[in-house]
A and B are shown apart, each in its own frame.
Chain A
Amino acid sequence: GQQVMQIPQYQHVQEGEDFTTYCNSSTTLSNIQWYKQRPGGHPVFLIQLVKSGEVKKQKRLTFQFGEAKKNSSLHITATQTTDVGTYFCARSYNTDKLIFGTGTRLQVFP
């Protein structure tokens, strides 16, 4: 019940193509956070979603929280080589733990 499934595990795209990663939970989530980890770096917070059906945008990144609060997605429009990295979703559990998804590694070919 705690786990967050994240797909795909890997994604290779040509620069300029779009990219989407998905997080799915079997239980209702109180909130979901997204992080980006560049190669050789550490995870960096991107955004937190709290409300059912919430959509937030950061430049070319669009984050969605499902209506039932059981899934979330991160969509990147027109990928650039600077988007390379691993994207993690994370859910709160018991108010004091953050459970991470397995991550989606994005590779962008110029």
Chain B
Amino acid sequence: EAQVTQNPRYLITVTGKKLTVTCSQNMNHEYMSWYRQDPGLGLRQIYYSMNVEVTDKGDVPEGYKVSRKEKRNFPLILESPSPNQTSLYFCASTSKGEKLFFGSGTQLSVL
């Protein structure tokens, strides 16, 4: 089954404790992206990747890192999480110009 898999589904952490949210897709998509969703602000892009070893900043990259060492994986790293990074995060992938496939989301709370 074609899918984007995100883990974990829920995460509660404390300020400053490094964390990684994993994302994997099985559709051989070149393009992958991370979004955060906050009430009233819609989906805002954090980082995206056009292919392996190619990543670029989205609209709200501050405080986040990503890597794309393999085509299928695109982890999101928060080196030192802060409370303003409490949000719902979505990973998505696509072949260029086509529809986005989203993961199920990760609800992150930073205390």
Contact = CB atoms under 8 A, between A and B. Distances in A.
Contacts of B41: 102
A97 B42 contact: no
A42 interface: yes
A109 interface: no
Contacts of A41: 104-105
Contacts of B101: 45
Nearest to B56: A96
B42 A33 contact: no
Interface residues of A, number: 22
Nearest to B99: A45
Contacts, number: 52
A102 B102 CA distance: 17
**In terms of DSSP, what is the predominant structure of the interface of chain A?**
strand
A107 B82 CA distance: 33
Contacts of A101: 42
Contacts of A6: 42
30 contacts: A9-B40, A33-B99, A33-B100, A35-B100, A41-B105, A42-B104, A42-B105, A43-B43, A43-B90, A43-B92, A43-B100, A44-B102, A45-B101, A88-B42, A90-B43, A96-B31, A96-B56, A97-B45, A97-B58, A98-B33, A98-B100, A99-B45, A99-B59, A100-B35, A100-B42, A100-B43, A100-B44, A101-B42, A102-B40, A103-B42
Interface string B94-111: 001101111111000000
Interface of A: 6, 9, 33, 35, 41-45, 48, 88, 90, 92, 95-103
A88 B103 contact: no
Contacts of A48: 99
Interface string B69-108: 0000000000000000000001010001101111111000
B48 A43 contact: no
A56 B55 CA distance: 34
